[in-house]
Structure 1
Amino acid sequence: MSTLTPVRPSLRGPARVVVRQHRWTLWIVGGIALAAVIGMIALALRSSHVAEVFAATDCRVDGGAGRACDQTTRNYLDSMLTYHRMFDYVATGLIVLPVVFSAFVAGPLIARELESGTFRMAWTQSVSPTRWLVAKLAVPTALLLAVTAVVTAVLARTRSYGDTPYPVQWHDAHTFSGSGVLPLAHVVFGTAVGALTALLIRRVIPALTVSAFVTGAAVAFFTYWRAELWPTRTLTSKTLDVQTNIWWVETGDLTSTGERLTGTACMQSASIGDRLQCMANHDITAHYLDYHPASHFWPVQLVETGILLALAALAVALAFRVLRRLHG
Structure 2
Amino acid sequence: MSAPTLRPPAPAVPSRSVPAPLRPSGLTWTVLRLHRAALLAWVAALLVAGAVLTWMYVIAPDAGVAGGPCAIPPVDGLPDCATVDAMTTDDLYDAGLDLIATALSYLMVPVAAWAGAALIGRELEDGTAQLAWTQSVTPVRWLATKLAVPAVLLTAGTAAVVLLHVGVRRDGNGNLLGPWYDSDIYLSIGPTAAAYGLAGLALGALAGLVLRKALPAAGAAFAVTLALSHLMQALRPSLWPTTTITGRTALDLPPDVLVLEHGVVTSDGRRIGNDLACVGSETQAQLRACMKNSRLSDFWATVHPESHFWPLQLVESGVLLAVAGAAAAASFTLLRRRTA
Same fold (TM over 0.5): yes
Question: Residue 92 of structure 2 aligns with which residue?
Answer: 82
Deviations 1:190-226 (A, max 9, x none): 1111111111111211111111111111111111221
**Aligned-pair CA distance for 1:274:** 11
- Identity of paired residues, percent? 33
Q: Does 1:236 align with 2:246?
A: yes
Distance verdict in 2 for CA 1:91–1:69, change over 3 Å: same
User: Of 120, 124, 131, which residue of structure 1 is paired with 2:130?
Assistant: 120
Distance verdict in 2 for CA 1:141–1:88, change over 3 Å: same
Stretch deviating more after TM superposition (166-175 or 183-192): 166-175
Deviations 1:58-106 (A, max 9, x none): x962444359824531355x21221122111101100111110011001
Matches within 5 A, 1:38-77: 38-48=51-61, 50=62, 54=65, 61-65=69-73, 69-74=80-85
Amino acid at match of 1:241: D
Distance verdict in 2 for CA 1:43–1:179, change over 3 Å: closer
CA contact (8 A) 1:266 1:278 kept: no
Question: Residue 298 of structure 1 aligns with which residue?
Answer: 310
Matches within 5 A, 1:213-224: 213-224=223-234
Unaligned runs of 5+ in 1: none
Question: Residue 91 of structure 1 aligns with which residue?
Answer: 101
Q: Distance in 2 between matches of 1:125 and 1:61?
A: 69
Amino acid at match of 2:273: T
**Aligned-pair CA distance for 1:109:** 1.0
Deviations 1:106-126 (A, max 9, x none): 111101111122211100111
- Aligned-residue CA RMSD in angstroms? 3.1
Higher CA-based Rg: 2
User: TM-score by structure 2 length?
Assistant: 0.83
Distance verdict in 2 for CA 1:158–1:21, change over 3 Å: same
Q: Distance in 2 between matches of 1:160 and 1:96?
A: 22
Distance verdict in 2 for CA 1:9–1:247, change over 3 Å: farther
Distance verdict in 2 for CA 1:228–1:70, change over 3 Å: same
Question: Residue 10 of structure 2 aligns with which residue?
Answer: none
User: Of 324, 327, 330, which residue of structure 2 is paired with 1:312?
Assistant: 324
Matches within 5 A, 1:82-231: 82-231=92-241
SS in 1 for 2:303: strand
**Aligned-pair CA distance for 1:46:** 2.2
Q: Distance in 1 between matches of 2:85 and 2:172?
A: 15
CA contact (8 A) 1:81 1:166 kept: no
Distance verdict in 2 for CA 1:199–1:225, change over 3 Å: same
Amino acid at match of 1:252: G
